[in-house]
Structure 1
């Protein structure tokens, strides 16, 4: 199902936003890349922009003039933002933005986990988060890339009750799926000793990876050469303000 009508189960990636020092540049870049339309929405002290696909929200863009490099943040669904935020700190994480109301839309928080990767919490109210997922120009997947996968797996297993499930399709990688208590896969953790820091990777589905990679460079960003993987034809894109994400076309 790609169009959602209710809050996602606890621990499911449910919203993404871009914190950027260049709001105008981001709006132009992502419209060129994905064809998104925009509408304003309140984001604490700042006026953010909701990104729309077929009139439904799929992401947010939030101006952050204090940042030097833009960053995408993925938010996990939670039924109790305050309680989950407490568990984050009890299990070795750190709160960057404590729980706060986003108007009547949601109660949210932003944190780092036990290995330093940034993520958010989203307790949906009048807004459930991304209403379209898993189709071109929307969020399809998130994986944590970290040099310390064991500690990361322990953190998220304790935080959301996930079950780690080793990915046997790519035995050369330390790649573990994370499954909710109902067995649904919500993403994964990839151990990579060479990465300098831990981060959740945001992957957008696209209908033509090669075309999107070209548009990224033509619009002021950059892209790696598209490559075929067991799951999709993928490229890593960097927007003009430095935010890194991936795009992929399923075979």
Structure 2
């Protein structure tokens, strides 16, 4: 389970790169009830999705040429520069070299060897998001990859994650991701091999955020009404919860889950 204690290797921030930030605010406000707070003139159009005056995510305009709208997950690091070196040594790519974001922290953005984008946040004044696991906040991070074995080696080398394989039947394996030294109680994500039908449909290696919700079907319906597109309709996952996956109107994928054992709100 995620925690705002933000141990090394755990997700501590996420943001959305959008071609139209006003449209993104309209969509996610309708789906989750989030409000938007600008970072001000010095923020370059960046700002924050907030709930009950607490930050749940960031939002900014797309800055990389040819980039498509997507959520980016950031993982805690005590040394962003050291992580950048580890990424390169493990076969990944440094897309945005580590740099200070005023006094808030130090950020770097990378791609793994298969091409899935992710980032790191070295906390300064800002430790990370204020809410996780409560309804309408981040609760899980999931990687879909074209080479699960290589992804395991890469992320183990970069973050020292503990990896636990689970047999899902029909030749499917789901790998649970846990920070170094952690237990099942503080696992933060999963890793899966993309199936050929996913590839044929245009899917590629990418990280997806899961947002905890109070009612998966109701929030899913709000997403469709606001202009989202179905990737996976609401379905029950025994022992886990009820989940769905959508893309927002600009094409950024995200998932919803009503956990079977929902954390306290």
TM-score by length of 1: 0.92
Q: Which residue of 2 aligns with 1:105?
A: 104
Instruction: Write the distance in 2 (CA, Å) between the matches of 1:94 and 1:68.
Output: 16
Superposition CA RMSD, Å: 2.0
The residue matched to 1:212 in structure 2 has which SS?
helix
Q: CA deviation at 1:73?
A: 0.3
Q: Does 1:242 align with 2:251?
A: yes
Q: How many residues align?
A: 248
Q: Which residue of 2 aligns with 1:218?
A: 225
Q: CA deviation at 1:222?
A: 2.0
Aligned with residue 190 of structure 1, among 189, 192, 205:
192
Q: CA deviation at 1:45?
A: 6.7
Greater CA drift, 128-137 or 63-72: 63-72
Instruction: Write the distance in 1 (CA, Å) between the matches of 2:80 and 2:42.
Output: 16
The residue matched to 1:69 in structure 2 has which SS?
coil
Instruction: Give a deviation string over 1:156-199, Cα, whole Å, max 9, x none.
Output: 1111112221124x244211112222223221211223243211
Question: Structure 1: any 5+ residue segments left out of the alignment?
Answer: none
Instruction: Write the distance in 2 (CA, Å) between the matches of 1:44 and 1:114.
Output: 34
Q: CA deviation at 1:3?
A: 7.2
Q: 1:71 to 1:44 in 2, by over 3 A?
A: farther
Instruction: Write the distance in 1 (CA, Å) between the matches of 2:20 and 2:207.
Output: 22
Q: 1:246 to 1:208 in 2, by over 3 A?
A: same
Q: Which residue of 1 aligns with 2:263?
A: none
The residue matched to 1:155 in structure 2 has which SS?
helix
Q: CA deviation at 1:118?
A: 0.5
Aligned with residue 52 of structure 1, among 50, 68, 83:
50
Q: CA deviation at 1:2?
A: 7.3
Query: Any residues of structure 2 matched to 1:49-198 within 5 Å, and which?
Result: 49-64=47-62, 66=65, 69-168=68-167, 170-172=168-170, 173-184=172-183, 185-194=187-196, 195-196=198-199, 197-198=204-205
Counterpart contact for 2:2–2:140, Cα < 8 Å: no
Counterpart contact for 1:42–1:102, Cα < 8 Å: no
Q: CA deviation at 1:209?
A: 1.0
Question: Structure 2: any 5+ residue segments left out of the alignment?
Answer: 261-265
Q: CA deviation at 1:86?
A: 1.1
Q: CA deviation at 1:68?
A: 6.1
Instruction: Write the distance in 2 (CA, Å) between the matches of 1:45 and 1:118.
Output: 22
